């Protein structure tokens, strides 16, 4: 592969087909990464106006194979990923499947290695490619390959080339092949793109919800990355919390949300005033029994967790669809998108 293109090797082991199929049924894309993919697909036209057919699923397909959506790393509210993601040293040693030597081009500026080249960030850009093609996806004046927004927009622009139509299967193939000169790579990425696109076609993507449900979900998603605060949050937004959680954690010095505070805020955006606790919120709207399973839930429903009876409900989240929820989990965490918990699942409620 010519110098300056995307790294040949991925930063993670390839998955077998069975593992991919299970993961695709409920893809575990962190909410902040999903936001970066959606932002990139929306912004790419401003940087590459001749590009057509770019979707968040295309961007997500690349990131899934390159870094499993930055798995094992923290994504801050501003998109900064920590610790940084680095691929293996490309010395031709065979580590990571690489047998080609790449001379250092950045003196360690991007890859932290002044003597060898390493792919960087969740989209595994080569430093030389980043130097010429990196984008400022979050408009903070910096181009950082370890920032989800910057890296996602850069990948989208790179895939667009000089004006591809990615809705055309042949041009999509060429775009992915330009990212990594491997037909096996193209096949794997294309498979993930199809799976993610299928979520939209089934109406299970939170971005395809409509009306009040869409407004509730958008309001909740806007708080991704905001810290958990015991007793924090209300209809107006994040607040400092109180002392103390059952585990002894105080929210008095933390501005953020607990689970029910986040629900209060999100539903207030459509004029619904929810009570303060998860147990009392379970008494609002039409109750959906746990025995009906996730298939009975729709995006925008409340989803509850407890020990059986409604009086024992201790946690609430907002259902996004496709087995995912928007959640303020516990002290020490932040608002995030994740799979619906199996432990303690207590059904839901349709409020709107």
CA distance 179 to 181: 7
Q: What is the mean pLDDT of residues 228-252?
A: 95
Residue 154 phi/psi, 5° resolution?
Answer: -65, -40
d(C-alpha 117, C-alpha 139), whole Å = 27
Per-domain residue ranges of the chain: 17-201, 207-350
74-75 and 302-305 strand pairing:
unpaired
Pairwise CA distance, residues 318 & 308, whole Å: 19
Radius of gyration (Cα) for the chain, nearest Å?
21
C-alpha dihedral sign at 164, 167, 168, 172: positive
Tell me how far CA of residue 203 lies from CA of 136, 217, 271, 292, 319, in angstroms.
31, 14, 25, 19, 13
Cα 73 from Cα 251, distance rounded (Å): 24
pLDDT > 70 in the chain, percent: 86
Asked if 317 and 347 touch (Cβ cutoff 8 Å), the reply is no
Statement: residue 258 has pLDDT above 60: yes
Q: Domain 207-350 sits in which CATH superfamily?
A: endopeptidase domain like (from Nostoc punctiforme) (3.90.1720.10)
Least confident range from 43-47, 280-284, 345-349: namely 43-47
CATH architecture, range 17-201? Orthogonal Bundle (1.10)
Tell me the whole-structure pTM to 2 decimals.
Answer: 0.55
CA dist 111 and 86 (Å) reads 7
Residue among 348, 322, 342, 344 at smallest CA distance from 28: 322
Q: Please say if the pLDDT value at position 210 is more than 70.
A: no
pLDDT at 10 over 60: no
- pLDDT tens digit string along 32-70? 898 899 889 888 988 999 999 999 999 999 999 999 999
Helices (H) and strands (E) in the chain, counts: 10, 10
Quickly state the pLDDT bin for 239 (edges 50, 70, 90): very high
CB-CB neighbours of 45 under 10 Å: 14
97 pLDDT band, cuts 50/70/90, is: low
**For residue 107, what pLDDT band results from cuts at 50, 70 and 90?**
confident
* Cα 128 to Cα 119: distance, rounded to the nearest angstrom: 10
For residues 220 and 225, give the distance between their C-alpha atoms in angstroms, rounded to a whole number. Answer: 11
Cα separation, 217 vs 319, in Å, equals 8
């Amino acid at each position: 592969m010519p110098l300056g293109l995307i790294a040949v090797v991925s930063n993670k082991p390839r998955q077998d087909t069975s593992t991919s199929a299970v993961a695709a049924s409920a893809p575990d894309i962190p909410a902040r990464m999903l936001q970066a993919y959606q932002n990139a697909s929306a912004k790419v036209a401003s940087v590459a106006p001749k590009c057509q057919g770019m979707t968040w699923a295309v961007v997500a397909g690349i990131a899934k194979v390159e870094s499993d959506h930055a798995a094992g790393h923290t994504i801050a509210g501003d998109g900064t990923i920590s610790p940084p993601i680095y691929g293996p040293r490309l010395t031709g040693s065979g580590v990571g499947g690489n047998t080609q030597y790449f001379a250092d081009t950045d003196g360690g500026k991007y890859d932290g290695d002044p003597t060898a080249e390493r792919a960087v960030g969740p989209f595994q850009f080569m430093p030389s490619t980043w130097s010429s093609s990196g984008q400022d996806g979050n408009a903070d004046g910096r181009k950082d390959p370890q920032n989800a927004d910057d890296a996602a927009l850069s990948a989208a622009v790179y895939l667009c080339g000089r004006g591809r139509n990615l809705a055309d299967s042949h041009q999509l193939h060429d775009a992915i092949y330009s990212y990594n000169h491997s037909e096996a790579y193209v096949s794997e990425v294309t498979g993930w793109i199809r799976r993610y696109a299928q979520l939209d076609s089934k109406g299970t993507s939170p971005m395809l919800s409509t009306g009040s449900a869409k407004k509730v979900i958008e309001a909740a998603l806007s708080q991704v990355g905001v810290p958990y605060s015991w007793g924090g949050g209300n209809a107006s937004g994040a607040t400092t919390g109180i002392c103390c959680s059952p585990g002894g954690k105080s929210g008095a010095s933390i501005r953020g949300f607990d689970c029910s505070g986040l629900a209060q805020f999100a539903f207030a955006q459509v004029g619904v005033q929810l009570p303060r606790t998860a147990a009392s919120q379970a008494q609002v709207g039409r109750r959906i029994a746990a025995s009906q399973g996730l298939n009975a839930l729709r995006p925008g429903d409340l989803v509850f967790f407890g020990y059986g009876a409604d009086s024992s409900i201790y946690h609430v989240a907002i259902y996004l669809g496709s087995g995912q929820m928007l959640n303020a989990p516990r002290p020490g965490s932040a608002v995030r998108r994740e799979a619906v918990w199996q432990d303690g699942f207590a059904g839901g409620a349709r409020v709107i």
